[in-house]
Chain A
């Protein structure tokens, strides 16, 4: 759910249900790293509600698009982390076929 204005798309608050610090904090990080963002922060309005509010203010682009780009960036980062991890594990498994070997 987006809380913004029709006249000014550059600032909005996005209210995301069923999410917590896990997604909000990573998104805050990716958004803050985007040069188009002037302000970004999140809050959890009530601890017993499963909801976060993410505030995005930009230099000119629509906040919605910037947030979408941040999600996209985060996904690319995740994919890279996964591929790198899988490769690292595979390398270890190939060099040490027997488990319970301490590599240290």
Chain B
């Protein structure tokens, strides 16, 4: 509200000086019949809707500048109370790994920031180092290591730290062991992610360079001070493992063997896609289909047939057939319905600029609703960091 008050207050001062009226101030100005508070409908349409014409969409930009409509007396500045009143979230569909929700009353700059953060900046755990003890399969070490890296791991990454320069310990590393062997004379063996077994006590491979006296416990590739089982109740109730047990890692012929240890660490999607917590996160603007005139009889039937996703229905009123827009959400904006002569005048295809249909598909480390709140928190942290840097 402050922006608007300030602008108008300045105006009222200058006006009152001229006219010598200075008693009611802003209230009086706001109540004048010729002060427009709303944009004229055609400008409002351009501001809030993308129009999809047969050749190309128009009015695709969002007008961000606070004074863009100042000459028309409309204030375009961000007013937080206004945002609070208009912002809405409606959950459409919530499953174990997917969520679909409508985010209404927000700028694409923010919606896109959430999407970008979800894909590249929400951390997860993924296999980063693989120690091969034996690999006689036809899958090369580096290829197998890459495949292992892409296996989603079901564990809350918030319980772990980034390993940075620290030695691998129980707070930053999860160790898995894989030992698969196809014996001679047996049919080929398919090794799936099920074969990855969690080692809560860390690596079991002795360090090659370790030449300490053999009496003491041999040093391994990790230095765990305690079992990860004791760190969190969650781990002992629900052992860490791959999210899906049926991901094929390799196929072994008779006599082939794989023995390895895989070390998973915390990371972000911008380093490598294996750390991305989402299969995908995306949004689209809500389609809006408007019939500009009554479409009846043959034309109505033609329109219903034109649409490949059945957006239109036919209403029967007193023997007259009339087209209605029944399922605008399904519209893919293929523009089939505005093809051909005069159809562009009958049907208007639009998109609502501040209504986003947001979809998040989680890979399984965290539920999708948690992912979104984490993403918003990360944006807040970024702001906080910048404020700290500036002061």
Residue positions of A touching B, CB distance < 8 A: 2, 14, 16, 19-23, 25-30, 32-35, 37, 64, 67-68, 71-82, 84-89, 91-93, 96, 99-104
Contact = CB atoms under 8 A, between A and B. Distances in A.
Instruction: Name which of B66, B106, B109, B380 has the most chain A CB atoms within 10 A of its CB.
Output: B109
Contact of A76 (B80, B101, B389): B80
Given A25-B109, A29-B109, A81-B106, A75 B383 contact: yes
Main secondary structure of the interface of A (DSSP, over half): helix
B376 interface: yes
Nearest to B91: A92
Nearest to B80: A76
Contacts of A23: 113, 379, 382-383, 386
Interface string B78-109: 10100110011111111110010101001101
A72 B64 CA distance: 18
B376 A33 contact: no
Contacts of B389: 16
A33 B390 contact: no
B109 A89 contact: no
Contacts of A25: 109, 112-113
A32 B64 contact: yes
Contact of B76 (A33, A78, A103): A33
Contacts of A96: 94
Q: Across chains A and B, which 4 residue pairs bring their CB atoms closest together, nearest first? A: A33-B78, A29-B109, A32-B64, A35-B3
Contact of B379 (A16, A32, A78, A91): A78
22 contacts: A2-B390, A16-B386, A19-B382, A22-B382, A25-B113, A27-B386, A30-B78, A35-B3, A35-B6, A72-B383, A72-B387, A76-B80, A78-B379, A78-B383, A79-B380, A81-B103, A84-B88, A86-B373, A88-B90, A88-B101, A92-B91, A103-B94
A25 B113 CA distance: 8
B65 interface: yes
A63 to B, nearest CB: 10
Given A22-B117, A92-B94, A103-B93, A28 B87 contact: no
Contacts of B383: 23, 71-72, 74-75, 78
